[in-house]
Each structure stands twice: as structure tokens, then as C-alpha cells.
Amino acid sequence: MIEVMEKYIIKTEQIDTWLKRIIESIPRVLAPVSSGTKTEFRKIKSTEEVDNKSFTTTVSAKAAAFPPVETLFKYQKDGKDTTLTEESFDKYPETVLWHARSCDAMGFSPLSAIFDWDYKDNIYDERRNKLTIVTFACIQSDECCFCTSVGGGPGNVEGSDIQLTTLNATDTLVEVMTEKGQKLIALLPDIFQPLSEEVDKEAVLAKMPVRFTKEEIKEHVSNAFDSPVWKRQSARCLGCGACAFVCPTCACFDIQEDAHGSHGRRLRCWDACGFSLFTQHTSGYNPRPTQATRWRQRILHKFSYMPERLGVYGCTGCGRCSRACPVDMNLQEHLISIANSNHE
Amino acid sequence: MNKLQEKATNLLKEGTVKLIIGFEQGNNKIRPLFCEKPEDVEKLIYSDDCSTNNAVYLTKKELIGNDKIAIIATYKEVASIIQLNKENQIKKENLMVLTVGKDGDVTELTSFEEMEKFCEESTPAPDPVVAALVERIDKMSREERWAYWKSELNKCIRCYACRAACPLCYCNRCISEVNCPQWLDPWKSTLSNIEWQINRVMHMSGRCTGCGACAKACPLDLPIGILTKKMSTDIKEMLGEGEGGNVLSTFNPNDKENFIH
């Protein structure tokens, strides 16, 4: 259970004044910005850019610490000598992730577990350490959301440094969980009023019934490696990477070379287990030769291997994969069907 | 049970086909359905509102196997099947193409002539939104157009849903996956995102049936469907309709370039 260190009330109309101060003080502020029909996290320079209306972004916030592509090091060959230059940590700016959701904030826990599993990935760690997360509790949800079924919730504060909850037309509850959060409050302390009486936060949150438990899923899938369920569920899967790329916890990456003759960069970029090439060996052999085996890997990794090895599940119930899927591979629907199934 | 479900049940019961690819109601949208057993048929519906073009499954060997299968086809599927056949990707004797009329009657299209006729009679009206966007971009200056595509394709996350959803993107190894030489930077960058779309569109030239599945599959709703649309129009203007317009699968043994020999 995450402890809330401080609680305040901020006048809802003053939130932008605070955000303005944050933008002035912090080099990079990422917030949901609307463009075309979609809303995505982008670097903002003014409060007007923030899309406060749409309740979630297509792509999760993971790029704040695990960008789609990043340089691991640069190299320069000179005769027989090769000089390697690591990226300077100064390149990773102090960042505030603004108006994220509980499911975004929760996603950094599995990401950190993966990147610090045995080798400590100092590039990821540096970016993560420089990240302060301000979430807005969800007062609405859609049919793809299922955070409450995987241990989260619309007002879950795990992973958030600060969480704001709109209580009514004038007041917003501010919960501060960390020192990082306190630093943001300290930027404009006068606009935060200490909480004089307890407020009923739950009452304003989106109502989301628990449809299954993650432990239930783990129990079912852990012994279902040879089940026909994978082939049946994955029949319509097209094998693209949309689900993995929008997911807050998918951490698989590819190492690529941006080579230019005698110099170049070694890059880490997002990869997806749904791609047939993902496990293709140089010999031509592919241990996951069908979409069914790749779908099985996706579910088992999130609901069996990760809890077993890392003690954390690889799903925050954000529903982004389901919204992004061109063929309606609805994760909640598939998990409910798994939870209700007998081992076949 | 409606006529389509009756027909499908009989086909599976009699063993005429091993699998029927059709449509079912998903979560707020129509999605593909695979019926292998008569009891699967109860979910089967007919709809031309499915964003997927189910002809995409016809080149997936792991799904369709070597047995005879049936596909419930709308205009989109039929147009793609015709093109796939021109490219020798269809074993007609293993494919039953079923369409459903307004009255719910199920008709089998037994020959490509019938399929061509079906397409002529059921060609959907051009999408006014697509037409308006093409017109808007046509009117832009080169600089404006470059800025437009840079800003749109900068958002692309390279999930390749556009490729995966296209019935005519069936290459065993896509050019984006070839690394000796590496034609495209495989990571997300504005330039390589643009290069990827140029590649996709070039390979679709004269082949694209305009079903729009690529655009509908894009999780970021990028206007990539108008690229193939515009390419089709240009190809028709430059090379004419029919076989001549089928740029990438047309060749002449007497071509003066020697790559053909």
C-alpha cells in the first residue's frame, strides 16, 4: 500500500497557474496534446496545449523513460582504434509527466523491474529517476478499461508522485506521495490549502467492476502452454506491433546500428513479440513460427513469467492494446474467457 | 438462423469446407470470425461495415492450410481476391467466395468473371472525406505538402499495422525487414517513417484496390490511406486501366532493360 504523505485542496481554476510555473521551472513537461482525432503525450510549452478533455492517450506514457528509439553509445573508428562515447546523462532532462493516468504510473513498476532485473540499465534508470509523474484520477472509463481487475484502479496512486482528483466544479484533491511530488508543490505552495476535513475520493471515481483477478489468470495460463485457446484467440490477429507499442509495460527492444562508414550509433528501439521476425534466428529457424505461439508468449509473459520472475504483472489494465487493435483483439475479453475456462 | 448461417452450417456439416471466414459483432465494432465447427456459426453475421478486409487471411498458410475454405465476401474482399488471383496467390479450387444480397440470399461467385461483374455492380461510392483530403493536399505547394507529411508521419510508431492489414502486403519478407542491405532505418524517425510509407505505396502502385484497410488499421489514425488512393489515380492517368495499370506485376520479355533476363 502506497502511503500518501500530504493532502491538499487546490482550486480547479488554479491548476493551470501551477502548471505554468512547472513549465517555467522544469526543462521538459510532457502532457496529452490533441492532434487530428488522437491525443498523445507531447512536450508542451504552454498550458493551452494540454488536452484536458480526452480521458486517455493512444500510446502510453512509457516513452518518457523508454523512448521508441535512443542512442546507447556512439563509435568512431580511426585506423585500428575505435573510440566509444557513451551518451552524457545531461542529455536526459528533468521531466514532468503531466495529466497521466493511474495505469500509466503503474506501468513504470514493471518497466523498472525488467530494466533492472539483473543488469542495472543505467540509461533507463537515469531517465526514470528524472521523471516526476502527476496523474489525474479517472472519473470516466470505457469498455476497454480493466485496471481494477489487475490490481489497479481509477484512483490508484501507485507510481504517481502526485495525484489530482477533481472533486467538484471548484475543488481538486491533491495527494502527494513522494519527495519529488513535494518539490512540485513547493514551486507554488500558496495555492495549496491543507485538507481541513476528509473528502470522499472514491465517490467521484469511475465505477469499474472487478471482472477477474490477475492471480486467477496466472493460475489458468501457467499450465496452459499446450492449450488450444491460443490458436483460437489469435486466429484474427494480424501480427502487427500496435498492441506492444501502445502498452505501458511492454519493454522488448531491438538493438540496431545507425552506421555511417567509420562512425555510427548503436540504438535501442521498440520491438514487438507479435512480429514474426522477433524470434527469427539467423539460421532461418523460428521457435515461435505461428501467430498463436506469439500470442501465447504475449499473455504468458505478462501473466505468468513476469510475476514468477519479477514479482510484478505486465499489465495495468489500461486497455490501450484493445483500443489500438485493428481486429478487436480485446484483452479484457480474452482474459475473462481464460479466467472462465477449464484447462483444455 | 438466417440464410447465411444455414448455408455456413451445411458447408461445415457436409465437410465441403474446413473453415469459413466471416464477420461477427465485436466490442463496438464488426470483426473477423473464423468458423471451424457448425456451432461457431451462431455468431456469424453479414456486414459490410467491418474495417478489416478479410482477404488478408487468404495468404496466411498457417490459418487456411491446404483444405478448401469459404470466405464471406463484401466488395472489399472480392476486389482483393481478384487482384490476389492475378498475382497467383489464390488457389481458386480451394476457395469458395460467398456474398450476401440485400434480401439475405447467399450467392456463390464461382468464377472470376462473376467476381468482376459483382465488383462492377457493387462498387461503393468514393469516400468524400478521402476525396476532400486528396484535393486539399493537391492544392498545397511542395513546401506545404512536405510540412504536412512530416508532421503527420512524425507520429508514426512503426507498428506496421498498415502492412499487416493489407491483403496485398503478403511478402514473406518485407523490404522493411531486409538488412543486407538495409533499405530502411527500422527505427522510428520522421525520415524513415516517410520512406516506409513511400515504399509501401510504391509497391501498391496499380495493385491497390482502395479498400482503405491500411488507414483503418492505423492506431494513430494517420491519413496513409490517401497515399495509396492518390497513387491509384496517378497510375490510371499515366498508364491506363487494367493490366497496363498493374505496374508491379506487369513485365515484357522484350523490355530493353536487361534486368528482366
Average pLDDT for A278-294? 94
Beta-carbon-side half-sphere exposure of residue B8 (alpha carbons within 13 Å): 30
B161 contacts in chain A (CB < 8 Å): 238, 240-242, 324, 326
How close does chain A come to B239, measured CA to CA in Å? 33
Q: Are A241 and A275 in contact (CB under 8 A)?
A: yes
Q: Find out whether A129 and A303 touch, Cβ atoms under 8 Å.
A: no
Q: pLDDT higher for A339 or A1?
A: A339
Q: Which residues are bridge partners to A85 per DSSP?
A: A74
| B162-205 per-position pLDDT tens digit | 999 999 999 988 999 888 888 999 999 999 999 999 999 999 98
Task: Mark out chain A residues that contact chain B at CB-CB < 8 A.
Answer: 35-38, 40, 58-59, 68-69, 143-144, 235-236, 238-242, 244-246, 254, 256, 258, 267, 269-270, 272, 275, 277, 289-292, 322-328, 330, 333
Cross-strand bridge partners of residue A70: A268
pLDDT for B245: 53
Residue range B20-32: mean pLDDT, rounded: 94
Distance in angstroms (rounded) separating the CA atoms of residues B58 and A200: 55
Q: Alpha-carbon distance B100 to B113, whole Å?
A: 18
Instruction: Tell me whether B217 touches chain A (CB under 8 Å).
Output: yes
Which tens digits make up the pLDDT trace of A171-196? Answer: 999 999 999 999 999 999 999 999 98
> Measured between alpha carbons, how far is B49 from B29 in angstroms, rounded to an integer?
8
B120 has pLDDT over 80: yes
pLDDT of amino acid B252: 78
Average pLDDT over residues B63-79: 95
Question: Alpha carbon A86 to chain centroid distance?
Answer: 26
Is A215 a residue whose pLDDT tops 60?
yes
**Cis before A307 (ω within 30):** no
What is the distance in angstroms between the Cα of B108 and the nearest Cα belonging to chain A?
A: 23
pLDDT at B243: 62
Reply yes or no on whether the pLDDT at A344 is more than 60: no
Of A40, A269, A325, the CB nearest to B188: A269
Looking at beta carbons, which residues of chain A come within 8 Å of B224? none
DSSP element (H, E) containing A28: strand A28-35
More confident residue, B244 or A14: A14
A226-274: per-residue pLDDT in tens? 999 999 999 999 999 999 999 999 999 999 999 999 999 999 999 999 9
CB A4 within 8 A of CB A13: no
B160 contacts chain A (CB < 8 A):
yes
Rg of the Cα trace of chain B? 20
Nearest CB among B56, B187, B216 relative to A267 is that of B187
Q: Give residue A343's pLDDT band: very low, low, confident or very high (50, 70, 90).
A: low
Confidence grade of residue B239 (pLDDT, cut at 50, 70, 90)? confident
B76 contacts B70 by C-beta, under 8 angstroms: no
Using CA atoms, how far apart are residues B171 and B161, in angstroms rounded to an integer?
15
d(CA B95, CA B227): 31
> Smallest Cβ distance to B27: which of A68, A238, A328?
A328
Q: Determine whether the interchain pair B221/A239 forms a contact, defined as Cβ–Cβ distance below 8 Å.
A: no
Contact status, residue B211 vs residue B225, Cβ threshold 8 Å: no
**Distance between A180 CA and the closest CA of chain B, angstroms:** 30
Backbone angles phi, psi at A187, to 5 degrees: -65, -30
Strands A81-86 and A69-78: antiparallel
Give residue-wise pLDDT tens across range A119-157. Answer: 999 999 999 999 999 999 999 999 999 999 999 999 999
CA distance A126 to A67: 13
Q: How big is the A-B interface in CB pairs under 8 Å? A: 109
B61 neighbourhood in chain A, CB within 8 Å: none
pLDDT, mean of residues A294-300: 96
Chain A neighbors of B216, CB-CB under 8 A: 326
Q: How many CB atoms lie within 10 A of CB A79?
A: 6
| Residue percentage of chain B with pLDDT more than 70 | 97
Task: Say what the pLDDT of residue B233 is.
Answer: 87
Contact in structure between A252 and A271 (CB atoms under 8 Å): yes
Return the SS3 of B94. helix
The span from the CA of A329 to the CA of A298, in Å, is 12
Find the mean pLDDT for residues B54-79.
Answer: 96
Q: Tell if the CB–CB gap between A326 and B161 is shorter than 8 Å.
A: yes
Bridging pattern class, strands A192-194 and A6-11: antiparallel
pLDDT of residue B223: 95
The letter for the amino acid at A281 is H
Beta bridge partners, A192, equal A10
Q: What is the pLDDT of residue B182?
A: 86
Q: Do A144 and B219 touch (CB under 8 A)?
A: no
CA distance B136 to A10: 45
> Chain-centre distance of CA A27, in angstroms?
21
Cell 465441403 locates to B16
Give the pLDDT confidence score for residue B253 in this predicted structure. 80
pLDDT for position A55: 87
* Burial class of residue B70, CB neighbours in 10 A (0-12, 13-18, 19+): buried
Mean pLDDT score of chain A: 95
Closest CA of chain A from B221, distance in Å: 7
Task: Tell me which chain A residues have a C-beta less than 8 angstroms from the C-beta of B62.
Answer: 289-292
What is the model's pTM?
0.94
The yes-or-no verdict on residue B50 having pLDDT over 90 is no
Asked whether the beta carbons of residue B165 and residue A238 sit closer than 8 angstroms, the reply is: yes
Closest by Cα among A243, A208, A224 to A314: A243
Q: Minimal Cα distance from B25: which residue of A?
A: A328
Beta-ladder partners of A268? A70, A255
Buried b (16+ CB within 10 A) or exposed e, A239-275: bbbbbbbbbbbbbbbbebebeeeeeebebbbbbbbbb
Q: What is the mean pLDDT of residues B17-40?
A: 95
- Contact yes or no for B186 and A323 at CB 8 A: no
Each residue of A72-95: pLDDT tens digit? 999 999 999 999 999 899 889 999
pLDDT of residue B244 exceeding 70: no
Instruction: Count other Cβ atoms within 10 Å, centred on residue A194.
Output: 8
Q: Which residue has the higher pLDDT, B132 or A1?
A: B132
Q: What is the mean pLDDT of residues A289-309?
A: 96
- Distance between A98 CA and the closest CA of chain B, angstroms: 20
What are B29-34's contacts with CB under 8 Å, separation 24+?
B29/A328, B31/A236, B31/A327, B31/A328, B32/A235, B32/A236, B32/A327, B32/B57, B33/A236, B34/A235, B34/A236, B34/B63
Q: Rounded distance, CA A239 to CA A230, Å?
A: 14
User: Of all residues in chain B, what percent carry a pLDDT higher than 90?
Assistant: 75
What are the φ and ψ backbone dihedral angles of A110, each rounded to 5 degrees? -60, -35
